[in-house]
Structure 1
Amino acid sequence: MSSPVGDNLPGLIGDLEEAAKVPAKRRQTGIKPTVENTTSLLYDRGALPDELARLVDLLTVRNHLDQASLGAIVRNLYPSGKVGDEAVLRFVGALGHGQLKPSLPLQALFLRWLVMVHHVLENPAILSQVYGVLFNLLDTAAIRPQLCHLLALVTRRKHVRPFRIQGILDEVQQRRSERQDDGGVKNGFAVNHSVGGWLKGWKALLPTVRTTYTQESSVTLEEIDNAESFVKNLEKIELPTQLVAVLADPLLQKFLLLRPDAEASSRISNWLMACLGDIASGDADSEIFLDMIEVIHDYAVATKTLPPILLTFFAQFLSIWNGSDKRDIVFESLSFAPMMEFEAELHKILQVLEHAVLDNTPASQVSLLKFYILLLQRWTIIMVAAESPESLPVTTLPHLIDYVNQLTLTLTQTSSTVGTCLDILDFYEAAATLYSEVKLLQHIEVAIPPPLLVYLVFFSPSLAVVSRLCGILATYKRAWEAVMSAAVPRQLTGREREHINVFNGFLMDLCNCLWRGRAFSTTDVNAQGCRIPQPVQAALETYIRAADPGLSLGSAFGLSHSPLLCLQSLSYVQQLEEDAMGGVRARHAGPVTQASLTRLAVQGGLALSWQEYRSGVLAYLEAKGLPGIPELMYNTMKNLMRARRQ
């Protein structure tokens, strides 16, 4: 049966999109007929993927359409085919509280829609992947019934019901109130007397803060109940008897941070080492030891530091640890370690750590890399916050980067996946962030990634990976420029002079591939030809000529012909043709070359110069959330630098 309003759903959606931008009182005509025609067509024939995507955007972003219109659209939002991940994630992302979120009744309709289409999802596993997001929304009563229905479909658990979830939430709140019945404990300015009541296992053996043998004029921590009292009596407070309570008591943690005491540190250290000795000799259960590590982790997270006492304890612990139990907790705790000299201290700890963790699997290597990322990020924060960075062991940072270079190179061989490449780039992004601080460049040598790693990552099959790599190299380039300018009052070290020549080779090779149509050239200054041997280049050239006589090896990795960029480049030209509103008689079939643009203009197509085309592709990549390649080109190619300044 044909639709009574004709089949112009894209046009109706366009009308709705325009109306959504204008408040109802300022519209020339009412929106109700458009909504009725849209819902009628949706009911008759369903929404095609592109139409569905536009309507989902309209429904999930705050706009000027009334709730009745939006509700009518979502009730009639019947897909005509499989539903992709994007639509599902947009609806899930619109759930929850916030000024920019859709109303709760509309969110309930979103969940009903997800229930309706769950059997026609393109990727049925997508709902399982967002299970945590959905579950954390269960405390919102207005959408709980629909959430339970959806979670029941995802988990196949019939017991997921609103009344049971409500019961659990009442129980959780009760336990929390029992633990935190003292207002002072909540804000950390009163002794936590209930610590033994809610800690389990070995943690329950931790003593509470208690001060004995006091004089009448003494002030004890137990008497403190607010911040004002704590500050007023800070110099008068007596040390408590059981200092190891510092591991679980926030007030004692604050006290020892503000009033360090050598005797207190020694007593805590002796207690910890005695526990470690009991476990090493077999007199205590290893599970108790792991509970102890959890307590130290909580202390480190709360104080944002791992004092030398606890670091010494960890160094001993690593020698008996199996490398897998509570690995994330161990890594996060160690990431709060203070900066230390690399050769004298850090290297020894890292060797013991790697011996425990590495088991010849990529997973163990990746987990270790993520620890190094966290450590580098925390030390960068320490240096930025320091009034005198030169007072810190700053030489450790370039040594650490050099050390991790070996691990990242290994990972390119053992796990050359896109996910691993992104993990590797996380590390060099952290290093680039460090070098983007001019204040720190006065004291730290610039250490670059290994050349082989740069080239292997550059030829990744992922555009996201290549974009991030180029962005990181652009940040490094600005760091080099700062070091060689008056902004950083120091001279290049001998090691840096060697590195800068290698780095310039990266830039020249990447620009030759992406921009200059001279991939693998070695004739330019600093060019390394991506370190590909000449016989291999000759074989590749022969292969390419046989596959496509009009293509050369030099231009095969440029904006138009690169396997990663050819679609983006052609899409940019097609967008220009669409924007011309029918003003072109010929369209470009791709790939774009300087000669093809000339022919296109003669045939009545776009009048676009080669330079305009390439600059436009860079802008198009930026707009698509891929700024790395444009950033590197604008920071490296002199003609582009001048054009951007103009």
Structure 2
Amino acid sequence: MTPHEDGSRDLGVLLDDIEAASKLTAKRRELSIKSTVDNAASALFERGALPDELARIVELLTVRNRLDQSSLGSLVRNLYPARKVSDDVVLRVVGALGHGQHKPSLALQSLLVRWLVMVYHLLEKTGILSQTYGVLFNLLDTAAIRPQLCHLLALVTRRKHVRPFRIQAILGLSRQTGSDPALVGLLRVFKNYYPEIIVGESTKGRAAAFKHPDPQWRERLEEIRRQHTERYDDGVRNGFAVNHALARQMKGAKLTGLPSVRTQHAQEDSITLEEIDNPEFFAQNLEKIELPTQLVAILADPLLQKLMLLRPDAEGFSRISNWLTSSMSEIASGDADPSTFLDLVEIIHEYTASTKNFPPLLVGFFRAFFQLYKQLLRPLEHSLLDNTSESQVALLNFYTRLLRRWTVAIREKVDFDALPKDSVPDLINHVNGLALTLTQTSPSVPTYLVILDFYSSCASLFSQRPILLHVEITIPPALLIYILFFSGSLPTISRLGGVLAAYKRSWEAVMTPPAMRALTERERKQINTFNGFLMDLCNCIWRGRAFGTSDLNAQGCRIPRSLPPVLESYLHSVDSDLALAAAFGLSHSPVLCMQSIAHVRELEDEVDEIRARHAGPVTQASLGQLANRGGLQLAWQEYRVGVLQHLEEKGFEGVSELMYNTMKNLAKTKQ
């Protein structure tokens, strides 16, 4: 048994005793728990906590129990993670914050938030705290943990988190607390992202510096992690050392031609890759490093990949291409074993995933195996799909990444005439069917957003003028548009509006005189369909004519003509004042109504004296009645434009983008 294993066992026994004691009052315990806690704290100080131990201790700290505060504080002060901190641990700490009968004391909560600050750089995924940003921010009114929370939020805050309502909340708290330095410090972090918004005297007070809470604790943590890496290496490589075990790690044992890194005839004043063992040494000697004798080892060695990326060498890449050409010739001629091809593909996959670069030589090689992309995609789909929506989503994500890669490749081309122009429309038409299938097999908001990821990539491709000159515009199917629009999800509708607005700009770029090019027959068949669902969406949201067909291009959302009277009758039985034509507008839509009335509430809050408030939902008639009762003076058009601006401020700019790009009168108003 190694010392590490023995120490792990000892700490595990101590934690067993502490967990048992935490369920009993001090009087019911046979022995004092103080010495056990002290021993556990000493063990943590000496060697840190492994992931399982860390999870057990955090669980003990985050639920109110019978242990005294001194013991709990001792554990959290010595909670040195030996490895990365998992998402579950972070979420458990965040979930323990705030007021509640079963929550830990506020003093212990402040230590836990302080601990999150000190281990922030060790989080397995720092994005987990970004996902809990709203929860953390809403706890700022808890004075006992506010300084530590401000420090943690200062680390997590990015541009997307800085919103007007958060700025107002911090300003309000700052006034209530007499310009709390921690709040002022957080406000300065906000100002770094939007200096034009935060003005005045708000950020001129004394502010917290947000320095590391305990430098000595940090030094001890670094020492523990260094010892852990040296003594109990679990085999995970950091990418800054040569892969000496390459030959043993290769799954394709028959591909013996791929060498490991070896540098022969090195000069006295040069450094070889075999000598590198950490990023600092690598960076300091980057220009002195001698290229290894067999550069083709780059296909499997991360350190050599980094060297060639930072110090490109044309001759070196030529040597790599020569080796690949030779190997591929043997495979193509049949001289190599069939399994060798699969081994080579696996190596190329790992190289491409690591370097984000696909060698041009390989394009011709794979083209020889797969003459048409459909022939390649068909076996791919057969191997991936397993009659589950998860596999369909994975396939759609692949197609999205593929289209983005094609966009980059097309943009880099000089000779557009040499491009396979039909590949993009064919791929989009192929994915149209997959997207419709997903709306049936997995009708959920996450799935809808994955679908919109693909069409956002399509819109991005068509928004680039050089590409638009040569590639046909291909739209989503109308049925998909209506399914997404009536999904009941504001993020989905906003994303959909942004995609359609981008598509509309592309159509206009092609068709506006002088036209860039003539429409193809396939595009001419699509344009009326596209205009149809644009008009339908505007009729629902803006014009109060939902499901109408009297306007030019309107298709009534393609529902049977016998259905609107039935819906009208049902709606009248529920609310006699609401007409079906207005049921999906800004004021009454189940998706938009909350944002609309929230905009009115904000306007009313800004007025010093007001005798009546709008009960909602807002109509043109109700605004006139409200003004007569001493309420807000607000015109109908001003209200609707304000709702669009409110949606933009909340991050749902796609709705207003679609309206401004489609409704001519509204576009003139904005101009």
TM-score by length of 2: 0.60
Partner of 1:492: 519
1:296-333 Cα shifts (integer Å, max 9, x gaps)? 322454261154647857998xxxxxxxxxxxxxxxxx
Residues 141 and 88 of structure 1: is their aligned pair in 2 closer, same or farther, counting only changes over 3 Å?
Answer: closer
CA 1:548–1:440: 2 relative to 1, 3 Å = same
Choose the corresponding residue for 1:420, options 447, 451, 455: 447
- Write out aligned runs for 1:446-465 (5 A): 446-465=473-492
Provide the rounded CA distance (Å) in 2 between the counterparts of 1:91 and 1:346: 52
| Residue identity matched to 2:553 | N
* Offset, 1:262: 8.0
Query: Are positions 1:207 and 2:265 aligned together?
Result: no
Is 1:620 the counterpart of 2:646? The answer is yes
**What is the aligned counterpart of 2:669 among 614, 638, 643?**
643
1:545 counterpart letter in structure 2: H
Corresponding residue for residue 196 of structure 1: 244
Q: Judge conservation of contact 2:300–2:347 (CA < 8 Å) in 1.
A: no
Q: CA deviation at 1:459?
A: 0.6
2:629 to 603, 620, 632: 603
Shift of 1:534: 1.4
Preserved CA contact (<8 Å) 2:331 2:337: no
- SS of equivalent residue, structure 1 residue 407: helix
Q: Is the Cα–Cα contact under 8 Å of residues 273 and 313 in structure 1 kept in the other structure? A: no
Partner of residue 15, structure 1: none
Whole-angstrom CA distance in 2 between matches of 1:95 and 1:199: 43
Report the Cα distance in structure 2 between the residues aligned to 1:147 and 1:273, rounded to whole angstroms. Answer: 57
Within 5 A, what are the aligned runs for 1:107-506? Answer: 142=214, 164-168=224-228, 180=240, 194-197=242-245, 201-202=249-250, 206-208=258-260, 246=299, 248=301, 249-250=304-305, 251=308, 255=314, 259=318, 264-270=323-329, 293=346, 296-299=349-352, 301-302=354-355, 304-307=357-360, 309=362, 344-486=371-513, 489-506=516-533
Q: Is the 8 A contact 1:448 1:503 kept in 2?
A: yes
2:658 matches 1:632:
yes
Compute the displacement of 1:247 (Å): 5.2
| Conserved? CA contact 1:358–1:364, under 8 Å | yes
Structure 1 residues 610 and 489, CA, compared in 2 at 3 Å: closer, same or farther? Answer: same
Q: Aligned equivalents of 1:275 and 1:94: distance in 2? A: 61
Q: Compared with structure 1, are the counterparts of its residues 510 and 471 closer, same or farther at alpha carbon in structure 2 (3 Å cutoff)?
A: same
Q: Deviations over 1:212-250 (max 9, x none)?
A: 9xxxxxxxx99xx987999xxxxxx9x977957655454
Residues 243 and 264 of structure 1 are in contact (CA less than 8 Å); yes or no, is this contact kept in structure 2? yes
2:586 paired with 1:586: no
Aligned to 1:12: none
User: Does structure 2 conserve the Cα–Cα contact (< 8 Å) formed by 1:568 and 1:621?
Assistant: yes
Q: 1:573 to 1:180 in 2, by over 3 A?
A: closer
Distance 1:532 1:302 in 2: 50
**Aligned to 1:559, which of 586, 608, 614?**
586
User: Unaligned 5+ residue runs, structure 2?
Assistant: 1-97, 104-112, 118-138, 163-180, 187-211, 265-272, 275-284
Q: Which has the higher contact order (CA 8 A, sep 6+)?
A: 2
1:154 — aligned with what?
none
* Contact map agreement 1:448 1:499 (CA 8 A) in 2: yes
What is the distance in 2 between the residues matched to 1:257 and 1:482?
A: 45
User: 1:102-122: per-residue Cα shift (whole Å, max 9, x none)?
Assistant: xxx989x99xxxxxxxxxxxx
Deviation at 1:355, TM superposition (A): 0.5
What residue number does 1:127 align with?
A: none
Cα offsets for 1:356-397 (capped at 9, x unmatched): 000110000000111111111111112222233333223211
Closer/same/farther in 2, CA of residues 412 and 294 from structure 1, 3 Å limit: farther
Could you say which residue in structure 1 is the equivalent of 2:143?
77
CA-based RMSD: 4.8
CA distance 1:308–1:351, change in 2 (3 Å):
farther
**Alpha-carbon separation, structure 2, partners of 1:88 and 1:377:** 42
Number of residues of Structure 1 aligned to a counterpart in Structure 2: 465
Indicate the residue corresponding to 1:32 in structure 2.
none
SS of the residue 2:562 aligns to? helix
Q: Which stretches in structure 1 are left out of the alignment for 5+ residues?
A: 1-41, 47-55, 61-72, 111-139, 149-160, 182-193, 213-220, 231-236, 317-339
TM-score (norm. length: structure 1): 0.62
Residue matched to 1:95? 155
1:128 corresponds in structure 2 to none
SS in structure 1 of the partner of residue 244 of structure 2: helix
2:645 and 2:414 mapped to 1: Cα distance?
40
